[in-house]
Amino acid sequence: MDYKVFEPVPTKVFGKDKKPTFEDSSCSLYRFTTIPNQDSQLGKENKLYSPSRYSDALFKSSDIKSASLEDLWENLSLEPTNSPPVNISATLSPQVINEVWQEETIGRLLQLVDLPLLDSLLKQQEFVSKAPQPKRQPDLVNSSNYLDRGILKAYSDSQEDEWLSAATDCLEYLPDQMVVDISRNFPEQPDRIDLVKELLFDAIGKYYSSREPLLNHLSDVHNGIAELLVNGKTEIALEATQLFLKLLDSQNREEFRRLLYFMAVAAHPSEFKLQKESDNRMVVKRIFSKAIVDNKNLSKGKTDLLVLFLMDHQKDVFKVKF
Protein backbone atom coordinates (compact mmCIF):
# COMPACT_ATOMS: atom_id res chain seq x y z
CA MET A 1 0.00 0.00 0.00
CA ASP A 2 2.91 2.33 0.72
CA TYR A 3 4.21 1.85 -2.83
CA LYS A 4 0.73 2.08 -4.39
CA VAL A 5 0.75 -1.56 -5.54
CA PHE A 6 -2.80 -2.02 -4.27
CA GLU A 7 -5.31 0.13 -2.49
CA PRO A 8 -8.40 -0.46 -0.33
CA VAL A 9 -11.79 -0.48 -2.00
CA PRO A 10 -13.66 2.63 -0.78
CA THR A 11 -16.13 1.75 1.94
CA LYS A 12 -18.03 3.94 4.33
CA VAL A 13 -18.09 3.27 8.02
CA PHE A 14 -20.70 5.25 9.91
CA GLY A 15 -21.06 7.54 6.92
CA LYS A 16 -17.35 8.25 6.62
CA ASP A 17 -14.74 6.83 4.27
CA LYS A 18 -12.70 4.05 5.79
CA LYS A 19 -9.12 4.98 6.64
CA PRO A 20 -6.65 3.79 3.97
CA THR A 21 -4.74 1.47 6.30
CA PHE A 22 -4.09 -2.20 5.69
CA GLU A 23 -6.16 -4.62 7.77
CA ASP A 24 -5.54 -8.34 7.73
CA SER A 25 -9.15 -9.41 8.01
CA SER A 26 -11.81 -11.20 5.97
CA CYS A 27 -13.98 -8.09 5.70
CA SER A 28 -11.44 -5.79 4.01
CA LEU A 29 -11.29 -5.53 0.21
CA TYR A 30 -8.30 -4.37 -1.86
CA ARG A 31 -7.60 -3.89 -5.57
CA PHE A 32 -4.49 -3.42 -7.67
CA THR A 33 -3.65 0.08 -8.71
CA THR A 34 -1.00 1.66 -10.92
CA ILE A 35 2.50 0.29 -10.29
CA PRO A 36 5.87 1.14 -11.77
CA ASN A 37 6.49 -0.61 -15.08
CA GLN A 38 9.39 -3.03 -15.48
CA ASP A 39 11.13 -0.36 -17.58
CA SER A 40 10.44 2.46 -15.14
CA GLN A 41 14.19 2.83 -14.77
CA LEU A 42 14.23 4.25 -18.30
CA GLY A 43 11.75 6.95 -17.39
CA LYS A 44 8.50 5.49 -18.81
CA GLU A 45 5.20 6.43 -17.21
CA ASN A 46 3.28 4.13 -14.93
CA LYS A 47 0.72 1.83 -16.52
CA LEU A 48 -2.34 0.06 -15.11
CA TYR A 49 -1.59 -3.60 -14.47
CA SER A 50 -4.03 -6.42 -14.06
CA PRO A 51 -3.24 -8.99 -11.34
CA SER A 52 -1.92 -11.48 -13.90
CA ARG A 53 0.25 -8.91 -15.64
CA TYR A 54 1.51 -7.67 -12.30
CA SER A 55 2.41 -11.22 -11.31
CA ASP A 56 4.34 -11.67 -14.53
CA ALA A 57 6.13 -8.42 -13.88
CA LEU A 58 7.23 -9.62 -10.47
CA PHE A 59 8.69 -12.92 -11.73
CA LYS A 60 10.19 -11.43 -14.88
CA SER A 61 11.59 -8.27 -13.36
CA SER A 62 15.15 -9.51 -13.87
CA ASP A 63 16.94 -12.59 -15.14
CA ILE A 64 19.01 -12.64 -12.00
CA LYS A 65 15.96 -12.89 -9.73
CA SER A 66 14.40 -15.57 -11.93
CA ALA A 67 17.57 -17.62 -11.99
CA SER A 68 17.98 -17.24 -8.25
CA LEU A 69 14.43 -18.42 -7.66
CA GLU A 70 14.91 -21.45 -9.91
CA ASP A 71 18.16 -22.35 -8.18
CA LEU A 72 16.49 -22.00 -4.82
CA TRP A 73 13.59 -24.22 -5.87
CA GLU A 74 15.89 -26.91 -7.28
CA ASN A 75 18.08 -26.93 -4.19
CA LEU A 76 15.17 -26.80 -1.77
CA SER A 77 15.26 -29.71 0.68
CA LEU A 78 12.72 -30.56 3.34
CA GLU A 79 15.04 -33.02 5.07
CA PRO A 80 16.17 -32.01 8.57
CA THR A 81 19.64 -30.59 8.83
CA ASN A 82 22.19 -33.09 10.07
CA SER A 83 23.38 -31.87 13.41
CA PRO A 84 26.34 -33.33 15.27
CA PRO A 85 25.22 -35.96 17.80
CA VAL A 86 25.22 -34.92 21.42
CA ASN A 87 26.53 -37.45 23.90
CA ILE A 88 24.18 -36.83 26.81
CA SER A 89 25.78 -39.51 28.97
CA ALA A 90 29.10 -37.66 28.76
CA THR A 91 27.61 -34.41 30.07
CA LEU A 92 25.10 -35.70 32.63
CA SER A 93 25.59 -38.12 35.48
CA PRO A 94 23.66 -41.42 35.49
CA GLN A 95 21.75 -40.24 38.56
CA VAL A 96 20.54 -37.10 36.78
CA ILE A 97 19.54 -39.08 33.67
CA ASN A 98 17.68 -41.57 35.85
CA GLU A 99 15.81 -38.77 37.64
CA VAL A 100 14.81 -37.19 34.33
CA TRP A 101 13.45 -40.50 33.03
CA GLN A 102 11.52 -40.99 36.28
CA GLU A 103 9.96 -37.54 35.99
CA GLU A 104 8.99 -38.17 32.36
CA THR A 105 7.54 -41.56 33.28
CA ILE A 106 5.55 -40.20 36.20
CA GLY A 107 4.30 -37.27 34.13
CA ARG A 108 2.98 -39.56 31.40
CA LEU A 109 1.53 -41.99 33.95
CA LEU A 110 -0.45 -39.17 35.55
CA GLN A 111 -2.01 -38.44 32.15
CA LEU A 112 -3.26 -42.02 31.81
CA VAL A 113 -4.28 -42.97 35.34
CA ASP A 114 -6.53 -40.90 37.57
CA LEU A 115 -4.73 -40.75 40.90
CA PRO A 116 -6.30 -39.11 43.95
CA LEU A 117 -2.95 -38.25 45.55
CA LEU A 118 0.61 -37.84 44.35
CA ASP A 119 2.24 -38.84 47.64
CA SER A 120 2.80 -42.45 46.57
CA LEU A 121 4.51 -41.41 43.34
CA LEU A 122 6.73 -38.89 45.07
CA LYS A 123 7.70 -41.35 47.79
CA GLN A 124 8.48 -43.99 45.18
CA GLN A 125 10.68 -41.57 43.24
CA GLU A 126 12.60 -40.65 46.40
CA PHE A 127 13.00 -44.30 47.39
CA VAL A 128 14.34 -45.38 44.00
CA SER A 129 16.80 -42.49 43.73
CA LYS A 130 18.14 -42.69 47.28
CA ALA A 131 17.90 -46.34 48.30
CA PRO A 132 18.23 -48.76 45.39
CA GLN A 133 18.15 -52.39 46.42
CA PRO A 134 21.50 -54.18 46.18
CA LYS A 135 21.78 -57.28 44.07
CA ARG A 136 21.27 -60.48 45.97
CA GLN A 137 24.56 -62.00 46.99
CA PRO A 138 25.00 -65.79 47.05
CA ASP A 139 25.81 -67.62 50.24
CA LEU A 140 29.59 -67.92 50.22
CA VAL A 141 29.63 -70.32 53.18
CA ASN A 142 28.17 -73.25 51.28
CA SER A 143 30.05 -73.48 47.99
CA SER A 144 28.10 -76.57 46.89
CA ASN A 145 25.16 -74.38 45.84
CA TYR A 146 27.21 -73.17 42.88
CA LEU A 147 27.55 -76.76 41.73
CA ASP A 148 23.85 -77.44 42.29
CA ARG A 149 22.82 -74.41 40.27
CA GLY A 150 25.22 -75.36 37.51
CA ILE A 151 23.88 -78.90 37.33
CA LEU A 152 20.27 -77.73 37.13
CA LYS A 153 21.14 -75.20 34.44
CA ALA A 154 23.02 -77.80 32.41
CA TYR A 155 20.09 -80.21 32.66
CA SER A 156 17.68 -77.51 31.48
CA ASP A 157 19.87 -76.61 28.51
CA SER A 158 20.19 -80.25 27.48
CA GLN A 159 16.41 -80.68 27.31
CA GLU A 160 15.76 -77.61 25.17
CA ASP A 161 12.41 -77.15 26.90
CA GLU A 162 10.94 -73.64 27.25
CA TRP A 163 9.19 -74.57 30.49
CA LEU A 164 12.40 -75.84 32.09
CA SER A 165 14.41 -72.89 30.81
CA ALA A 166 11.96 -70.37 32.27
CA ALA A 167 11.88 -72.20 35.61
CA THR A 168 15.67 -72.44 35.81
CA ASP A 169 15.98 -68.68 35.23
CA CYS A 170 13.76 -68.13 38.28
CA LEU A 171 16.02 -70.27 40.45
CA GLU A 172 18.62 -67.50 40.50
CA TYR A 173 16.40 -65.56 42.93
CA LEU A 174 15.64 -68.50 45.19
CA PRO A 175 17.66 -68.97 48.41
CA ASP A 176 20.62 -71.27 48.15
CA GLN A 177 19.14 -73.83 50.55
CA MET A 178 16.04 -74.24 48.38
CA VAL A 179 18.22 -74.81 45.33
CA VAL A 180 20.25 -77.42 47.21
CA ASP A 181 17.02 -79.20 48.25
CA ILE A 182 15.85 -79.26 44.62
CA SER A 183 19.13 -80.81 43.57
CA ARG A 184 19.04 -83.46 46.30
CA ASN A 185 15.42 -84.39 45.56
CA PHE A 186 16.02 -84.58 41.83
CA PRO A 187 14.31 -87.66 40.28
CA GLU A 188 16.50 -90.69 39.76
CA GLN A 189 15.11 -90.99 36.24
CA PRO A 190 16.24 -87.83 34.37
CA ASP A 191 13.91 -88.69 31.50
CA ARG A 192 10.90 -88.15 33.80
CA ILE A 193 10.56 -84.49 32.88
CA ASP A 194 7.11 -84.37 34.43
CA LEU A 195 8.58 -85.13 37.85
CA VAL A 196 11.28 -82.50 37.36
CA LYS A 197 8.68 -79.88 36.41
CA GLU A 198 6.55 -80.77 39.40
CA LEU A 199 9.55 -80.38 41.70
CA LEU A 200 10.53 -77.02 40.22
CA PHE A 201 7.00 -75.62 40.19
CA ASP A 202 6.40 -76.56 43.83
CA ALA A 203 9.69 -74.97 44.91
CA ILE A 204 9.14 -71.73 42.97
CA GLY A 205 5.53 -71.50 44.11
CA LYS A 206 6.50 -72.08 47.74
CA TYR A 207 9.11 -69.34 47.65
CA TYR A 208 6.95 -66.68 46.02
CA SER A 209 3.93 -67.44 48.18
CA SER A 210 5.92 -66.40 51.26
CA ARG A 211 7.86 -63.39 50.04
CA GLU A 212 6.94 -59.71 49.74
CA PRO A 213 4.97 -58.86 46.56
CA LEU A 214 7.11 -57.62 43.70
CA LEU A 215 4.63 -54.86 42.85
CA ASN A 216 3.94 -53.79 46.41
CA HIS A 217 4.37 -50.10 45.54
CA LEU A 218 2.12 -47.39 44.11
CA SER A 219 -1.11 -49.03 45.26
CA ASP A 220 -3.14 -46.21 43.72
CA VAL A 221 -1.80 -47.17 40.30
CA HIS A 222 -3.05 -50.75 40.80
CA ASN A 223 -6.56 -49.42 41.16
CA GLY A 224 -6.20 -47.12 38.16
CA ILE A 225 -4.96 -49.84 35.81
CA ALA A 226 -7.59 -52.31 37.04
CA GLU A 227 -10.29 -49.70 36.45
CA LEU A 228 -9.07 -49.19 32.90
CA LEU A 229 -9.28 -52.94 32.31
CA VAL A 230 -12.81 -53.08 33.72
CA ASN A 231 -13.84 -50.33 31.29
CA GLY A 232 -12.29 -52.17 28.35
CA LYS A 233 -9.48 -49.64 27.79
CA THR A 234 -6.83 -52.28 27.19
CA GLU A 235 -4.39 -50.18 25.16
CA ILE A 236 -4.32 -47.39 27.75
CA ALA A 237 -3.96 -49.96 30.53
CA LEU A 238 -1.02 -51.53 28.71
CA GLU A 239 0.80 -48.22 28.37
CA ALA A 240 0.12 -47.37 32.01
CA THR A 241 1.48 -50.79 33.04
CA GLN A 242 4.62 -50.25 30.96
CA LEU A 243 5.25 -46.93 32.71
CA PHE A 244 4.39 -48.43 36.08
CA LEU A 245 6.95 -51.23 35.66
CA LYS A 246 9.51 -48.69 34.43
CA LEU A 247 9.55 -47.23 37.95
CA LEU A 248 10.81 -50.53 39.39
CA ASP A 249 14.48 -50.73 40.22
CA SER A 250 16.48 -52.91 37.83
CA GLN A 251 16.80 -55.80 40.30
CA ASN A 252 13.07 -56.21 40.96
CA ARG A 253 12.22 -55.47 37.36
CA GLU A 254 14.37 -58.34 36.08
CA GLU A 255 13.10 -60.72 38.75
CA PHE A 256 9.51 -59.88 37.91
CA ARG A 257 10.18 -60.30 34.18
CA ARG A 258 11.50 -63.82 34.74
CA LEU A 259 8.65 -64.78 37.06
CA LEU A 260 6.00 -63.42 34.71
CA TYR A 261 7.55 -65.26 31.77
CA PHE A 262 7.54 -68.51 33.75
CA MET A 263 3.93 -67.95 34.77
CA ALA A 264 2.87 -67.36 31.16
CA VAL A 265 4.62 -70.55 29.97
CA ALA A 266 3.35 -72.70 32.84
CA ALA A 267 -0.22 -71.42 32.38
CA HIS A 268 -0.41 -72.63 28.79
CA PRO A 269 -3.00 -75.43 28.46
CA SER A 270 -0.70 -77.60 26.33
CA GLU A 271 2.08 -77.58 28.94
CA PHE A 272 2.64 -79.87 31.91
CA LYS A 273 -0.60 -80.40 33.86
CA LEU A 274 -0.07 -78.69 37.21
CA GLN A 275 -3.18 -80.06 38.90
CA LYS A 276 -5.44 -82.79 37.58
CA GLU A 277 -8.78 -81.12 38.19
CA SER A 278 -7.79 -77.49 37.54
CA ASP A 279 -6.84 -75.41 34.55
CA ASN A 280 -3.15 -74.43 34.40
CA ARG A 281 -4.07 -70.78 34.00
CA MET A 282 -6.15 -70.72 37.16
CA VAL A 283 -3.55 -72.66 39.16
CA VAL A 284 -0.80 -70.21 38.23
CA LYS A 285 -3.01 -67.23 38.98
CA ARG A 286 -4.01 -68.59 42.40
CA ILE A 287 -0.47 -69.49 43.52
CA PHE A 288 1.39 -66.40 42.30
CA SER A 289 -1.18 -63.59 42.68
CA LYS A 290 0.03 -62.52 46.14
CA ALA A 291 3.61 -62.65 44.92
CA ILE A 292 2.70 -59.90 42.44
CA VAL A 293 0.01 -57.71 44.04
CA ASP A 294 -1.29 -57.74 47.61
CA ASN A 295 -3.39 -54.60 47.74
CA LYS A 296 -6.09 -54.50 50.41
CA ASN A 297 -7.87 -51.68 48.54
CA LEU A 298 -8.13 -53.82 45.41
CA SER A 299 -10.98 -56.32 45.21
CA LYS A 300 -10.24 -59.97 44.45
CA GLY A 301 -11.94 -59.67 41.08
CA LYS A 302 -9.79 -56.72 40.04
CA THR A 303 -6.66 -58.40 41.41
CA ASP A 304 -7.32 -61.51 39.35
CA LEU A 305 -8.05 -59.36 36.30
CA LEU A 306 -4.77 -57.48 36.72
CA VAL A 307 -2.68 -60.64 37.22
CA LEU A 308 -4.21 -62.37 34.19
CA PHE A 309 -3.66 -59.22 32.13
CA LEU A 310 0.03 -59.21 33.08
CA MET A 311 0.36 -62.87 32.13
CA ASP A 312 -1.37 -62.42 28.78
CA HIS A 313 0.76 -59.39 27.87
CA GLN A 314 4.06 -60.47 29.43
CA LYS A 315 5.90 -59.87 26.13
CA ASP A 316 4.72 -56.25 25.91
CA VAL A 317 4.51 -54.89 29.46
CA PHE A 318 8.28 -54.31 29.65
CA LYS A 319 8.40 -52.27 26.46
CA VAL A 320 8.37 -48.50 26.94
CA LYS A 321 7.84 -45.93 24.17
CA PHE A 322 8.52 -42.21 24.57
The more confident residue out of 298 and 76 is 298
Reported as a single tens digit per residue, the pLDDT across 244-291 is 898 888 888 999 999 999 999 999 999 999 998 899 999 999 999 999
Q: Could you list the beta-strand ranges (E) of 67-196.
A: none
Mapped onto helix, strand or coil, the DSSP state of residue 72 is helix
pLDDT score recorded for residue 129: 40
Q: How many Å apart are CA 258 and CA 66, to the nearest integer?
A: 67
pLDDT score recorded for residue 226: 92
Residue 197 in contact with residue 167, Cβ under 8 Å?
A: yes
Q: How many Å apart are CA 145 and CA 171, to the nearest integer?
A: 11
Indicate the domain borders of the chain. 213-313
pLDDT category at 76 given cuts 50, 70, 90 is low
Stated pTM of the model: 0.63
Q: What Rg, from alpha-carbon coordinates, does the chain have? A: 36
Reported as a single tens digit per residue, the pLDDT across 97-133 is 777 777 777 778 788 887 665 555 555 544 444 434 4
Among 142, 147, 135, smallest CA distance to 173 is for 135
